Amino acid sequence: MDLYKELCAIAGADAVAVNEPMERHTTFRIGGPADWFVTPSRTEEVRGIIELCRQQAVPYYIIGNGSNLLVGDKGYRGVIIQVYRKMSGISTEGERICAQAGALLSKVAAAAYSAGLTGMEFASGIPGTLGGALRMNAGAYGGEMKHIVESADILTPEGEVKTLSVEELGMGYRTSVISRNDYVALGAVLKLKRGEQEQIRARMEE
């Protein structure tokens, strides 16, 4: 109960669930209960939750929308931190898109299409969030995140927020410094190019 109260103090009571069935949060619709399930809405809340877990030696795990995530029937003994709907803002400025980690790749691709920007089409059908895509350098159909990422904001396990360039992200085949160093992806700036909407749409559908 003490941990529950402290989690509520950080993220708000409406953002903390106890014994939450993970089947509600995975695309496979399987998984037993997580001891605590928290849905933060700000970077400061993510940082506070991780700091609390580290102080109390409570395991924690970061998820997005739970795509392709397998959770055992016994659930998770610790805190699940879901960076998804409450941290999913998307904005466009010129040839750049700024998006938070919880934004679905399909919605980021749709925003690029609406702005007449090309380069994001390959990701339009990937069933995950930007955060997960940054962590694993997601790719498909000849494209990869490293081809369009300009920079990304990350949170270190020690609670430091950093902005890393695409070079500093060290993106390789399904890997990055985010996964290797156990960082939390918070968001990214994507650098795209101007294109014809009809061609962008055709490529997305293809």
pLDDT at 60: 97
pLDDT at 58: 97
pLDDT at 54: 96
* pLDDT greater than 80 at residue 1: no
pTM for the full model?
Answer: 0.95
As a whole number of angstroms, the distance between CA 192 and CA 171 comes to 18
pLDDT at 96: 98
pLDDT at 97: 98
Contact 133, 126 (CB under 8 A): yes
Residue with the two structure tokens 């980690």: 101
Longest dimension (CA), the chain: 56
Q: What is the mean pLDDT of the chain?
A: 97
- Cα of first residue to Cα of last residue in the chain, in angstroms, is 51
Determine the residue type at 58. V
Residues whose CB is less than 8 angstroms from the CB of residue 36 and which lie 6 or more positions away in sequence, other chains included: 3, 4, 7, 16, 17, 18, 20, 78, 79, 80
Q: Looking at residues 119-126, what average pLDDT do you find? A: 96
pLDDT tens for 99-112 read 999 999 999 999 99
* pLDDT greater than 90 at residue 149: yes
Nearest to 50 by CA among 89, 84, 10, 100: 10
As a whole number of angstroms, the distance between CA 93 and CA 152 comes to 16
Using N-to-C axis directions, what is the helix angle for 105-114 and 197-205, rounded to 10°? 150
Nearest to 135 by CA among 181, 188, 100, 178: 178
Q: Looking at residues 131-158, what average pLDDT do you find? A: 96
Confidence band (pLDDT; 50, 70, 90) for 34? very high
Confidence band (pLDDT; 50, 70, 90) for 7? very high
pLDDT at 65: 97
Confidence band (pLDDT; 50, 70, 90) for 148? very high
As a whole number of angstroms, the distance between CA 87 and CA 76 comes to 23
Nearest to 39 by CA among 74, 86, 6, 72: 86
